[in-house]
Structure 1
Amino acid sequence: MTTPAQWTGILLAAGRGRRFDPQGNEDKLRQILACGSSIACQSAAQMHAVLPDLCVVVRADNQQLIQLLQQSNYPVLICSEADDGMAASLIAALRHTKESAGWVVALADMPFVQETTIALVLQALQNGADIVVPVFEGRRGHPVGFSRHHLPELLCLTGDQGARQLLQKYPVLEVVVNDPGILLDIDEPADLKAYLPKI
């Protein structure tokens, strides 16, 4: 008797965040939020709470982030091709977890996504949807869910557009959520300040 395949969370944390710091001195994913956690660890915590089978993709030269995530016991996958674009990081994670029933793909610079949203995306996949996106006030956000039905095409992606082309090509189940965090990514220092709770 075979064990049913697990569902996997993929957290993409391999970008260079040049809009946050063009010189590359300040890694935005290691910035500390009001809760006391780094951006990357908070994003990982939200995913891990729903999807214990988690894969956090980090580029090979970001040793500080790798150590930070490992200290918090999050499984890190090092992607040596990360500079080729987001698709390279996603493909590395998919190959590493290719036996999964499907994947919920999140971005590490979006730490305000609620656990309930991740759970709803996962539930829709478990109920038979092939592609799932959360929607807040009419706008699609992250994380995005994929069943393994789309694995062959996901493995053929290139560049920095991620899986956006699949969302344009195939039917997508939209899950309405009361979660503005699905739209809030931290690209610049001003974003970090704007999204923090006012004291």
Structure 2
Amino acid sequence: MTGLVILAAGQSSRLGQPKQNLLYKGKTLLQHALVAATGSGCQPIVLVLGAHTAAIEPGIEGHAIQVIHNADWPEGMASSIRAGIIQLQQNPEVDSALMMLCDQPFANAQLLTSLLNKRQETGKGIIACTYNGTAGVPVLFDRQYFTELLSLKGHEGAKKLLARYADDTTLVDFAHGGVDIDTMEDYEGLVG
């Protein structure tokens, strides 16, 4: 069983407001991520919140997800990855974790399902998306990598594992993976 972690604890400091609540095609960015996650067939779905929790939580009602609050969110993304993995490890049936961000509006259920399918086809332990000449999220990790994910610190994401275990990594094309929302210019480019 593949669990899914939505990383949505950041402060959105460059944007100046919670990016999770920005509207795109009638839904917030976080709601788009939740729709993709629930449509993927992954279970359980863990949403990691931190900064701006009170402003974000009202928009997630009605979704069958586990919400956890990462009190260590100021440390950076690594703390949210750890929080999500710790939550998934509580379920012994979870043999892999799919991680996604809340600010990639084109990460849909079809893309997430393609990562799951690629794992079945290849037997690889890491399935990452590729875009703009790099590999990144959404990304799926086999349970054998959970210990290393738990050792991440600060602002580092899991990208270094992709390089370290390149022989156990395969890629899925994500044409619009480079579209993420960090600044108001990014958002205006998305909705304009």
TM-score normalised per structure 1? 0.85
Instruction: Please give the root-mean-square deviation of Cα atoms over the aligned residues, in Å.
Output: 1.9
SS class of match (2:56):
helix
1:63 and 2:58 matched: no
2:67 corresponds in structure 1 to 76
- CA deviation after TM superposition for structure 1 residue 32, in Å: 0.9
1:129 and 2:109 matched: no
The whole-number CA distance in structure 2 between the counterparts of 1:61 and 1:135 is 30
Change in 2 beyond 3 A, CA 1:37/1:157: same
Higher mean alpha-carbon deviation, 45-54 vs 11-20, is at 45-54
Which protein is richer in strand relative to its size?
2
Which of 44, 64, 71 in structure 1 is aligned with 2:34? 44
TM-score normalised per structure 2? 0.88
1:173 and 2:164 matched: no
The whole-number CA distance in structure 2 between the counterparts of 1:141 and 1:190 is 22
Change in 2 beyond 3 A, CA 1:52/1:148: closer
The whole-number CA distance in structure 2 between the counterparts of 1:181 and 1:75 is 28
Which of 77, 100, 111 in structure 2 is aligned with 1:106? 100
Matches within 5 A, 1:145-156: 145-156=140-151
- CA deviation after TM superposition for structure 1 residue 73, in Å: 4.5
The whole-number CA distance in structure 2 between the counterparts of 1:125 and 1:53 is 18
The whole-number CA distance in structure 2 between the counterparts of 1:65 and 1:137 is 30
1:20 and 2:15 matched: yes
- CA deviation after TM superposition for structure 1 residue 52, in Å: 4.2
Amino-acid identity (%): 24
Do the aligned residues in 2 keep the contact of 1:58 with 1:78 (CA within 8 Å)? Answer: yes
Structure 1 runs of 4+ with >4 Å offset: none
SS class of match (2:176):
helix
The whole-number CA distance in structure 1 between the counterparts of 2:144 and 2:112 is 20
The whole-number CA distance in structure 1 between the counterparts of 2:51 and 2:189 is 30
The whole-number CA distance in structure 1 between the counterparts of 2:107 and 2:153 is 26
Q: Structure 2: state its 5+ residue gaps.
A: none
Q: Structure 1: state its 5+ residue gaps.
A: 1-5
- CA deviation after TM superposition for structure 1 residue 89, in Å: 0.6
